[in-house]
Chains A and B, each alone.
Chain A
Amino acid sequence: MKGGLTAIVDYGAGNLFSVKNALDFLGAESSICSDRAGIAKADRLILPGVGAFPDAMEKLERTGLADAIVEEAGRKPLLGICLGMQLLFETGFEFGTTRGLGLIGGTVGLIDAPGLKIPHMGWSDVRRAGACPLSEGVREGESFYFVHSYRAVTDMGNVALYAEYGGVVPALVFRGGVFGCQFHPEKSGRAGLSILEKFVSL
């Protein structure tokens, strides 16, 4: 339990330190890494991210991190957070069309919520869908902290938790050992920490 090293992938997008603080708080060893060697050495990976899809993919591809992540994703658990979760999908439609990492089937498009504020920002409650190791014990109606304007469109078979904001907003997605949280588990209080704790115990 909680053994091994979790690499937090640094590609110049987002607040890595909040994720690191949360893992430190949980007593899980982690390192911030920005090269292939760091990714290869780790036992599991976290892909954080705040910003825009095309920009983030460009950085991941230019640094060779995209290939490294895809290569390792079959071998070790991977958790994408917020934009990092969106990058797991095949295609993003933020500022044009961008190819994602393609680890989970689906696309990422603008939230379609007439009459609601964009971004979807704040605490939203979630419903349970498919069974996934990270959502075990999450109660129906539990709240998590979201900040995003785009949302994934994917088969419900890939969705463990979803929120509703102008339609279904996949909140926790998974496929094999690849997981993605649209919310910020590192900013979602005890409920969020418990998701991270389950991940670092995989």
Chain B
Amino acid sequence: MLAKRIVPCLDVRDGKVVKGINFIDIKEVGDPVECAMEYDRQGADEIVFLDITATHEGRGTMAEVVRRTARNVFVPLTVGGGIRGVDDFRALLRAGADKISVNSAALREPGLISEAAAVFGSQCVVVAIDAKRRGGDGGGPPRYSAFVRGGREDTGVDAVEWAAEAERRGAGEILLTSMDTDGTKEGFDLAMLDAVCAAVNIPVIASGGGGSLRSFSELFLNTGADAALAASIFHYGEFSVGDVKQELIRAGIPARM
């Protein structure tokens, strides 16, 4: 049986983890490598680094973070944030990343998806979509708009159609973040996830809204999502990756223990 994956995400700026971290047993708080190792110990099925470094000079540090992590953590590692072209893919894959997630650049230049898939294989091309609900209050079905530049700019592109196009172009996975539920801890956006899962036949990682333990079992009981990504609940130590897995098992959902 294929397990549903639990994926902690670390926001990294200039080689340091942003957002407070509340782990007890790590040597250097703020070191992404130490945090990744702790998540690995907790049973993370995969780890995501999101590079939010704004400056060009800071970007080289991400490859070094990936290199150090790949020497110590032996689960799949995904890196995203600011990926512009095939050269960025190559640099991070060579450093030891297994998958690269691309967002704004793919929306601006969708050919990047097929180009990267042809060179490195679909399995390492993750298309990240930040989407916000539009309409649907007047009785009609809601639609979802894809945003770029860290959620600052509405492209007007329909997120469900974009996910399907990304698959056609060779994406191996979709990382779908709901901007409406992100940070609320009130549960994942089940309706949006359902719409995207129905439109594609590649794995979908749900992001945004993971809060209670129950929100994770509800996600997998009610949608076709393959994985759940969360950041702050794990960072602040509210519960561990293992706690979420226990909840999945309790609800009869396959999880890797």
Contact = CB atoms under 8 A, between A and B. Distances in A.
Interface stretch (B91-99, B107-115, B146-154): B91-99
Contacts, number: 72
Contact of B71 (A21, A118, A192): A21
Contacts of A156: none
Interface in B199-228: 201-203, 226-227
Interface of B is mostly: loop
A122 B72 contact: no
A120 interface: yes
Contact of A18 (B70, B72, B226, B256): B70
A25 B163 CA distance: 38
Contact of B74 (A25, A119, A124, A165): A25
Given A18-B96, A50-B123, A121-B123, A189 B2 contact: no
Q: Which residue, B3, B75, B173, B227, has most C-beta atoms of chain A within 10 A?
A: B75
Nearest to A119: B123
Interface string B15-46: 00000000000000000000000001000010
Nearest to B122: A119
Contacts of B133: none
Contact of A122 (B93, B98, B121, B226): B226
A102 interface: no
A8 to B, nearest CB: 15
A122 B3 contact: yes
Given A17-B96, A22-B74, A51-B121, A189 B40 contact: yes
* Most chain B CB atoms below 10 A, which of A18, A24, A124, A192: A18
B3 A117 contact: no
A174 B154 CA distance: 54
A94 to B, nearest CB: 13
A25 B3 contact: no
Interface residues of A, number: 30
Interface string A1-41: 00000000000000101100110110000000000000000
B84 interface: no
Interface string A44-68: 0000001100000000000000000
B98 A124 contact: no
Contacts of A17: 70, 94, 96
Nearest to B40: A189
Nearest to A122: B2
B76 interface: yes
A187 interface: yes
A25 B71 contact: yes
A170 to B, nearest CB: 16
B170 to A, nearest CB: 12
Contacts of A192: 74
Interface string B103-147: 000000000000000000111000000000000000000000000
A66 B188 CA distance: 50
A21 B96 CA distance: 9
A81 B122 CA distance: 18
Nearest to A121: B203
B8 interface: no
Contact of A124 (B1, B93, B201): B1
Contacts of A117: 201-203, 226
A73 B256 CA distance: 34
B81 interface: no
B2 A165 contact: yes
Contacts of B76: 145, 187
A108 to B, nearest CB: 17
7 contacts: A15-B98, A50-B123, A117-B203, A118-B201, A123-B45, A123-B256, A143-B3
Interface of B: 1-3, 5, 40, 45, 70-72, 74-76, 93-94, 96, 98, 121-123, 172-173, 201-203, 226-227, 254, 256
Which are the 6 A-B pairs with shortest beta-carbon distances?
A143-B256, A123-B3, A123-B256, A147-B123, A21-B71, A122-B2
